[in-house]
């Protein structure tokens, strides 16, 4: 087992001659429980932070330093990510938090974290990062042998085509056959299953996103939640995109992060 920095967790030293055998056994069992708990907490926090990046969650500098960079457990994950300073919703610069808690830029030089009511801190998305920042932090993380807890700098990115914006449909998935289990897994990415239809079948799912954008996915033959194995594969019928007041009109260009993550969700159905 490894800790949140990727290093192996040390085992307890073996009891010495003269140690109380009952206390030694109790300490060993407690340590095993703690290791199991830490692993579960770490897994949950990794999912939480990845979702924070995808949904563009932001924190004030004070909250970031106190509750993320300064948290006893979460800080180990914070150190393995590239963070961004946002002003009025736009990424201004990137930084990382070092092992000693110091903040540095992509050249590993000291970085002064901006302050102000209009400043927010968030996990920089690959779509937002410049090529120079991606290269600089990639080299820096390589030098320090830091393994990211989820795909950030090397994340696949996508964009909606002009035709897709005009039609409100993502035609690239029409007729694609995917495992039923992958469709069910979309619920971990903030998708919601549609209402059950005849014979309690589910044949659609939807995802609400920033800016009022809604993605609606339909598939056949559908599945029953209690009998998923009955239909191990599903054929995607269509992916519709709607936005506030569109009513068939072309969609306004959605946020690049929102669009990229939507397409990534669907792309992973085929993996």
Q: What percent of the chain has pLDDT over 70?
A: 86
C-alpha to C-alpha distance for 68 and 77, rounded to whole angstroms: 9
Helix (H) or strand (E) holding 25, with range, is helix 21-54
- The domain limits of the chain are 1-155, 162-270
If you average pLDDT over residues 221-228, what whole number do you get?
83
Compute φ and ψ for 208, nearest 5 degrees.
-90, 135
Output the CA–CA distances (angstroms, integers) from residue 109 to 28, 60, 126, 224, in the order listed: 43, 23, 22, 55
User: 17 pLDDT exceeds 90?
Assistant: no
Residue 6 has what pLDDT?
46
What's the CATH architecture for 162-270? 2-Layer Sandwich (3.30)
User: 256 pLDDT exceeds 90?
Assistant: yes
Residue 4 has what pLDDT?
43
User: Per-residue confidence at 252, pLDDT binned at 50, 70, 90?
Assistant: confident
């Amino acid at each position: 087992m490894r800790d949140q920095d990727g290093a192996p967790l040390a085992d307890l030293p073996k009891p010495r001659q003269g140690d109380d055998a009952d206390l030694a056994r109790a300490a060993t069992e407690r340590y095993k429980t703690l290791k199991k708990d830490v692993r579960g907490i770490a897994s949950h926090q990794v999912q939480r932070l990845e979702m924070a990046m995808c949904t563009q969650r932001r924190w004030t500098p004070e909250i970031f330093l106190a509750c993320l960079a300064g948290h006893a457990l979460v800080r180990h994950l914070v150190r393995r990510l590239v963070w961004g300073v946002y002003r009025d919703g736009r990424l201004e610069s990137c930084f990382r938090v070092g092992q000693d808690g110091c903040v540095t830029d992509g050249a590993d030089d000291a970085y002064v974290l901006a302050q102000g009511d209009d400043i927010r801190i968030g996990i920089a998305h690959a779509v937002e990062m410049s090529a120079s920042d991606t290269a600089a932090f990639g080299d820096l993380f390589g030098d320090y042998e830091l393994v990211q807890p989820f795909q950030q700098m090397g994340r696949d990115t996508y964009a909606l085509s002009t035709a897709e914006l005009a039609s409100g449909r993502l035609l690239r998935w029409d007729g694609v056959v995917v495992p039923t289990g992958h469709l069910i897994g979309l619920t971990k990415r903030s998708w919601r299953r549609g209402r059950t239809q005849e014979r309690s079948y589910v044949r659609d799912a939807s995802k609400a996103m920033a800016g009022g954008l809604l993605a609606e996915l339909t598939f056949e033959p559908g599945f029953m939640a209690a009998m998923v194995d009955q239909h191990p594969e599903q054929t995607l019928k269509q992916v519709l995109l709607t936005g506030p007041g569109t009513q068939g009109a072309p969609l306004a260009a959605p946020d690049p992060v929102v669009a990229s993550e939507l397409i990534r969700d669907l792309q992973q159905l085929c993996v």
